[in-house]
């Protein structure tokens, strides 16, 4: 963590100096500002604010909105909602996991892709749905995933 990061964290902490039980608000701001809440962030916050590290870990590991490592270049959102599930979504999830070598909530080692699981992407009529960054792919077939990944920087 460099001086710029520490300054950002100091600013976040000072903006919540008078907040009662500020842990959640601080962590949400860190997530928004950095794109993730990493080990270094949590340790620094704990040291500067006297909020126990265990409490910070408890929050970021309980709520799925927190990412514990930097996101990949492309974010893949796979829908595991009912409509997508009954139309083959589970096969899409398994195939993506196989091709990327990661599960939901994880990032590939080369940091090209992060995989996220969501409950509904709001376009059930074209399920199963996969979203790559801002692009939505509907009626996705497992056989088309390699092509979709390649479009977004995959092999």
Rounded Cα distance, 155 and 149, in Å: 7
Least CB distance to ligand FES at residue 112 (A): 24
Rounded Cα distance, 56 and 54, in Å: 5
Residue nearest to ligand FES (CB): 81
Least CB distance to ligand FES at residue 61 (A): 26
Nearer to ligand FES, 106 or 127 (CB): 127
Burial grade of 35 (CB within 10 A; 0-12, 13-18, 19 or more): middle
Nearer to ligand FES, 71 or 138 (CB): 138
Residues that bind ligand FES (CB under 6 A): 79, 81-84, 120-121, 123-124, 127, 129
Using CA atoms in the order 26, 30, 36, 41, what is the torsion angle rounded to 10 degrees?
-80
Least CB distance to ligand FES at residue 93 (A): 11
Nearer to ligand FES, 75 or 121 (CB): 121
Nearer to ligand FES, 87 or 112 (CB): 87
Rounded Cα distance, 98 and 108, in Å: 12
Nearer to ligand FES, 123 or 142 (CB): 123
Least CB distance to ligand FES at residue 62 (A): 24
The conformation of residue 145, written as its DSSP 8-state character, comes to: H
Rounded Cα distance, 51 and 56, in Å: 7
Least CB distance to ligand FES at residue 138 (A): 9
Which residue is listed with tokens 């074209």? 126
């Amino acid at each position: 963590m460099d001086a710029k990061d520490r300054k950002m964290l100091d600013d976040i902490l000072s903006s919540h100096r008078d907040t009662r039980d500020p842990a959640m608000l601080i962590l949400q701001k860190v997530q928004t500002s950095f794109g993730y809440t990493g080990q270094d962030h949590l340790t620094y916050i704990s040291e500067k604010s006297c909020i126990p590290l265990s409490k910070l870990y408890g929050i970021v590991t309980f709520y799925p909105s927190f990412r514990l490592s930097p996101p990949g270049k492309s974010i893949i959102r796979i829908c595991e909602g009912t409509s997508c599930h009954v139309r083959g979504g589970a096969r899409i999830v398994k195939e993506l996991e196989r091709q990327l070598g990661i599960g939901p909530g994880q990032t590939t080692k080369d940091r090209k892709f992060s995989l996220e699981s969501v409950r509904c992407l709001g376009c059930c009529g074209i399920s199963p749905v996969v979203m790559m960054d801002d692009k939505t792919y509907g009626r996705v077939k497992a056989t088309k995933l390699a092509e979709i990944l390649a479009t977004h920087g995959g092999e």
